Amino acid sequence: MLGVASYLVFFLCVVLVLCILTMGLNLQWGFTGLFNAGVAGFYAIGGYTHAILTAAPNPQLMGNYGLPWLVGIIAAMLVTALAATLIGLITIRLRGDYLAIATFGIGIMIQLVSLNLESWTGASQGITRIPKPLATWFDAPLSYNLFYLVFMVAVVALVYWALERILSSPWGRVLRAIREDEAAASSLGKSPLSYRLQSFVLGSTLMGLAGALYVTFIGFVSPFDFLPILTFQVWAMLIVGGSGNNRGAMIGALVVWGIWAASGVAVSKWVPPSHAAQGAAIQVILIGLTLVLMLLYKPRGLIGERSVVSRHLVW
Partner 1 sequence: MILQALTDGVFTGAIVSLGAIGLSLTLQIMRFANFAHAEFMTIGAYLALAVVTFIGPGTPTMGLSFGWQLLLAALLASVLAGAMSWWLDLLVFRPLRRSGAASLVLVFAAFGAALVLRHILVLIWGHDSYFYTRELQLGVMILPGMRVLPDQVFILALTVLLVIVLHLYLTFHRTGIAMRAMAESPTLAQVCGIRVDSVVRTTWLISGFMAAMAGVFSGLTPQLHPELGSNLLLSVFAAAIFGGVGSLPGAVIGGLLVGIAENLFLLVANPGYKPAMPFLLLLGVLWLRPQGLLGEKSS
> Per-residue DSSP letters for 274-300?
GGHHHHHHHHHHHHHHHHHHHHHH-TT
- Binds partner 1 by CB under 8 A, chosen from 162, 224, 285, 298: 285
Cα–Cα distances in angstroms (integers) from residue 172 to residues 28, 169, 308, in the given order:
11, 5, 12
Site for partner 1 in 150-169 (CB under 8 A): none
Residue 134 interacts with partner 1 (CB under 8 A)?
no
Which stretches within the chain are classed as H helix?
Answer: 2-25, 39-54, 69-91, 96-116, 118-121, 141-167, 170-180, 182-187, 192-218, 228-241, 246-270, 276-297
Number of residues that bind partner 1 (CB under 8 A): 41
Q: Which long-range contacts (CB under 8 A, 24 or more apart) does 142-147 make?
A: 142/2, 142/5, 142/6, 142/9, 145/6, 145/9, 145/10, 145/13, 146/9
Cβ-based nearer residue to partner 1, 33 or 248: 33
In the complex, least distance from residue 214 CB atom to partner 1, rounded to whole angstroms: 22
Cα–Cα distances in angstroms (integers) from residue 32 to residues 83, 107, 190, 289, in the given order:
19, 20, 14, 26
Q: Report the C-alpha gap between 73 and 20 in whole angstroms.
A: 14
- Binds partner 1 by CB under 8 A, chosen from 5, 70, 86, 109: 109
Cβ-based nearer residue to partner 1, 57 or 96: 96
DSSP state of 242: -
Residue 105 interacts with partner 1 (CB under 8 A)?
yes
DSSP state of 29: I
Site for partner 1 in 187-226 (CB under 8 A): none
Residue length of the chain = 315
Q: Are 300 and 242 in contact (CB under 8 A)?
A: yes
Cα–Cα distances in angstroms (integers) from residue 271 to residues 255, 282, 288, 290, 307, in the given order:
23, 10, 20, 21, 45
Residue 94 interacts with partner 1 (CB under 8 A)?
yes
In the complex, least distance from residue 264 CB atom to partner 1, rounded to whole angstroms: 14
Residue 292 interacts with partner 1 (CB under 8 A)?
yes
Looking at this protein, which amino acid is placed at residue 269? Answer: K
Binding segment for partner 1 among 213-221, 247-255, 286-294, 305-313 (CB under 8 A)? Answer: 286-294
The gap from C-alpha 162 to its chain's centroid, in whole angstroms, comes to: 17
What are the residues facing 221 on neighbouring strands? 127
Site for partner 1 in 52-91 (CB under 8 A): 90-91
Site string for partner 1, 238-257 (x = CB under 8 A): -x------------------
- Binds partner 1 by CB under 8 A, chosen from 31, 35, 200, 257: 35
In the complex, least distance from residue 105 CB atom to partner 1, rounded to whole angstroms: 4
- Binds partner 1 by CB under 8 A, chosen from 1, 150, 296, 314: 296
Residue 229 interacts with partner 1 (CB under 8 A)?
yes
Residue 124 interacts with partner 1 (CB under 8 A)?
no
Binding segment for partner 1 among 33-41, 168-176, 198-206, 251-259 (CB under 8 A)? Answer: 33-41
Q: Report the C-alpha gap between 289 and 287 in whole angstroms.
A: 5
In the complex, least distance from residue 164 CB atom to partner 1, rounded to whole angstroms: 25
Residues at the interface with partner 1 (CB under 8 A): 33, 35, 37, 90-91, 94, 96-98, 100-102, 104-106, 108-109, 112, 115-116, 229, 232, 235-236, 239, 275, 277-278, 280-282, 284-285, 287-289, 291-292, 295-296, 299
